[in-house]
Structure formats: structure tokens, C-alpha cells
């Protein structure tokens, strides 16, 4: 939609999250779990990217794109478009992005996928045999159903919630099962997408100067007073928890201004 613009993927829990050398990120750094922890893990290695490895079924069930423009069914309150999320296959914006973005790579087997990943980055950091071994080890855990892989366990647990089972989390399956192919690798670049902050306020929404004194006549609430209402959920706030802080900070500011 915009040149040189990053789009954030909102993933479900099934994709393998690999570092720039093709190693799985340690638990609990799974897609959709601890984005800040994953960011720290990647950057501490000195890397500027990581990878999701998945298949067609996971792409169709679990990928969403952040932003109102990328979710016309929700922003437009279109029930017909919303129903597409229950059907097999990815929603329109995800399909278009996967088809047109050079960051999405598709292949029929791990060796070809590794070659495409290395071609995109211009190096040979992804070892084809190691990538296959990683995928096969994960697939063996799914096939046996013994529940020793923490990501496989977490994925199965997520499906206990009806909505996730219907439209958000794919049924566990082997990535190398050709019925679910092709395989995909998505390069995830580290970038600043937006700032999460705002004006410094006290608990009643009064804006504070740099020295901590009150700036008379100015209040702030919601995202303007720190994302999610002054950061009440802390440094590792979860997606979906910000609205409550926005409402709470607005209520306190309104009462401080003499509202009911």
C-alpha cells in the first residue's frame, strides 16, 4: 500500500520461528507469545532479521496483517467478508501479500526453501540439511502426539478455545505433509513500526513537565498518555490489553476535569 512501509504479521502459534542461522528460537519465544523477548533474542545475536517457516494450511488459518487497511471485513463491518475467515484459505489481503511480497518464499521441500532463503539474504546461513532436520523433528512430535515439544503443546492448548479452533489456530499436522503444502519461509525484518508512548501524566491524566511538575490546563488520556493509558500493563503488555487502559485513563481524566 505504501512504498518502503513495513507490515506486521499477527501470527498464530504454529509457525516455526527461526533465527538468521535457521535455529529455532527457545521456548517460550513462539509466534504470538512474547514479541519483545523474541526481538531481544534476535538483536542480541547482532541480526536484523529472523524467519517464520510454515505451510499453506498455517498461512491460511493463522496469518493476519496488522492495520485497519489490511482488515476490511472488520473495519467495514462486512459480515460476508468476515465469513471468509472461517473458510479454508487465507483472507484476501494475506493472499495478496504472500503472492506479491518478496519476503514470502515458497518451495516444495526444505532444501529448495533453504536455497531461496539464502538467495534472498545473499549468504549461506541456512543449512538445507539442518532445516530439514528441524522440520522433521517438529513433525515427529506432532505425529506421535506425546506432547514433548513445548510449541506443539501450546498450539494444541490454544485450540481448546472455540474461536481459536475455528478461525485462528490450524489443527496440528506435519509441515512436510504435501497435502498442506507448499512450504513457506517469511523473512521478518527488525524495524521501528511505530512508537508506543505519549505525554507524561500523573494518575489523573494531568500532563507533566520534564521536571515532573504539572503543566496547568492540559490533560491527556488513552494512547496520548502513553500507549494503553500510561503503560499500566508494563513493558511486556500483551496485544489486546490496551483498550482497558485507554478507557481507564480517560475515565480518570474525565473525573479530574469535573465529570461524573
pLDDT for the residue 96 = 83
Q: Which stretch of 72-76, 144-148, 193-197, 235-239 has the lowest confidence by average pLDDT?
A: 72-76
pLDDT for the residue 155 = 92
> Is the CA virtual torsion 74, 79, 81, 85 positive or negative?
positive
* Segment 56-66, tens digit of pLDDT: 999 988 988 77
DSSP states of 112-166 as a string? HHHHHHHHHHTS--S-HHHHHHHHHHHHHHHHH----SHHHHHHHHHTTSHHHHH
* Segment 86-123, tens digit of pLDDT: 555 555 678 888 888 899 999 999 999 999 999 999 99
- DSSP class of residue 183 equals E
Distance from C-alpha of 65 to C-alpha of 172, rounded to nearest angstrom: 22
Instruction: Go through the domains of the chain in sequence order and give each one's CATH number.
Output: 9-189 (3.90.700.10), 206-256 (no CATH)
Residue recorded with cell 502513553? 226
pLDDT for the residue 124 = 96
pLDDT for the residue 70 = 58
179's enclosing H/E stretch is none
Amino acid at each position: 500500500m505504501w512504498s518502503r512501509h513495513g507490515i506486521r504479521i499477527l501470527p498464530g502459534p504454529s509457525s516455526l520461528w527461526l533465527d538468521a542461522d535457521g535455529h529455532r528460537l527457545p521456548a517460550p519465544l513462539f509466534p504470538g507469545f512474547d514479541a519483545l523477548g523474541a526481538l531481544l533474542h534476535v538483536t542480541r545475536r547482532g541480526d536484523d532479521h529472523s524467519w517464520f517457516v510454515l505451510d499453506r494450511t498455517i498461512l491460511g488459518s493463522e496469518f493476519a496483517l496488522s492495520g485497519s487497511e489490511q482488515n476490511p471485513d472488520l473495519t467495514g463491518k462486512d459480515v460476508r467478508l468476515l465469513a471468509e475467515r472461517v473458510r479454508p484459505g487465507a483472507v484476501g489481503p494475506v493472499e495478496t501479500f504472500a503472492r506479491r511480497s518478496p519476503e514470502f518464499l515458497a518451495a516444495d521441500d526444505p532444501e529448495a526453501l533453504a536455497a531461496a532463503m539464502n538467495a534472498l539474504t545473499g549468504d549461506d546461513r541456512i543449512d538445507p540439511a539442518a532445516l530439514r532436520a528441524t522440520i522433521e523433528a517438529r513433525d515427529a512430535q506432532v505425529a506421535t502426539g506425546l506432547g514433548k515439544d513445548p510449541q506443539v503443546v501450546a498450539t494444541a492448548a490454544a485450540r481448546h478455545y472455540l474461536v481459536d479452533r475455528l478461525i485462528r489456530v490450524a489443527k496440528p499436522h506435519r509441515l512436510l505433509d504435501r497435502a498442506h503444502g507448499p512450504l513457506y519461509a517469511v523473512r521478518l525484518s527488525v524495524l521501528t513500526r511505530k512508537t508506543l508512548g505519549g505525554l507524561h501524566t500523573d494518575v489523573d491524566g494531568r500532563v507533566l513537565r520534564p521536571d515532573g511538575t504539572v503543566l496547568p490546563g492540559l490533560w491527556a488520556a488513552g494512547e496520548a498518555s502513553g500507549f494503553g493509558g500510561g503503560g499500566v500493563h508494563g513493558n511486556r503488555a500483551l496485544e489486546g490489553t490496551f483498550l482497558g487502559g485507554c478507557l481507564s485513563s480517560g475515565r480518570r481524566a474525565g473525573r479530574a476535569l469535573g465529570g461524573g
